[in-house]
Amino acid sequence: MKGLERLDQTVVQELKEKIALGCKILAKLELSDYLGHVSARIPGTDLVFIKARGLDMGNLLDMTADKVVMVDLEGRRVEGQDLNPPDEVVLHTEIFKARPEVMSVVHTHQPISTILGDLGLRILPMQGVMAAVAAREIPVFESSLKIVTHEQGRGVARALGDHWAVHLRNHGICTVGDSIEQAVVFAIWLEHQAKLTWQASAAGIPRGMSQEEAELQIKDALGPMASRWRYYCSLLDN
């Protein structure tokens, strides 16, 4: 297995702990429960860490680093023999195959984004730096079924294209990033913009930012992710 013999155990533990934190943050913000998953490519390898199958581990608020499974890019378990990878592991691995620059994938069933996806309404760039994730219209994968085959996973990757996020119609969303922090924060931001779009729609016809101003948010969005991550981690203390 490419890279397995030279894994830096410090990096390994850090990735596992960040996956656990990402899962807990998403659960704290009610964007996931025992379902949904965070994954990370192990740098310099064909290996991926991913949260274990939900039914095996339960509430994501209880997620810990020892509940992370190592798989290869075919979704086959490599390490973590007492735990199973999630049924939708190929959702992650097929994105990693298609997007070599992506280092983390998040899949949630976050409610408001899912509602807008069902209605065929665009999540608009509504406010501040968070609007960057919706600066471009979110593409849609037109199936509500669980992503359990490589063909389905490849379909999601094609729909995602070079975007940061994709709707899974009547299912949920995926976000990607160049780090676990970025992919998790983008999922949070997507739901925030969806919530504002939904609330504005109840009062009238929302306009959202101009395309030019929404795109100007992107540079800031790619900026101080570490400090944003610390903020979301701090919510777990309350």
The CATH number given to whatever domain includes residue 35 is 3.40.225.10
Q: What's the confidence (pLDDT) of residue 5? A: 61
Domain contains 194: yes
Please report whether residue 236 resides in a domain.
Answer: no
**210, part of any domain:** yes
In a domain, 170, yes or no: yes
Q: In total, how many domains does the chain have? A: 1
Q: Is residue 237 part of a domain?
A: no
State the Cα–Cα distance between residues 16 and 236, nearest whole angstrom: 17
Give me the domain span that covers residue 166.
4-231
- Interval 191-211: pLDDT, tens: 999 999 999 999 999 999 999
pLDDT tens string 36-60: 999 999 998 999 999 998 767 778 8
pLDDT in tens, 115-130: 999 999 999 999 999 9
Is 138 inside any structural domain?
A: yes
Q: Does residue 75 fall inside a structural domain?
A: yes
Nearest-angstrom CA–CA distance, 128 and 1: 44
Question: What's the CA gap between 50 and 222, in Å, rounded?
Answer: 24
| pLDDT-above-70 percentage for the chain | 96
88 assigned to active site = yes
From the candidates 5, 30, 74, 88, give the one annotated as an active-site residue: 88
Q: Is residue 226 part of a domain?
A: yes
- In angstroms, the CA 238 to CA 226 distance is 20
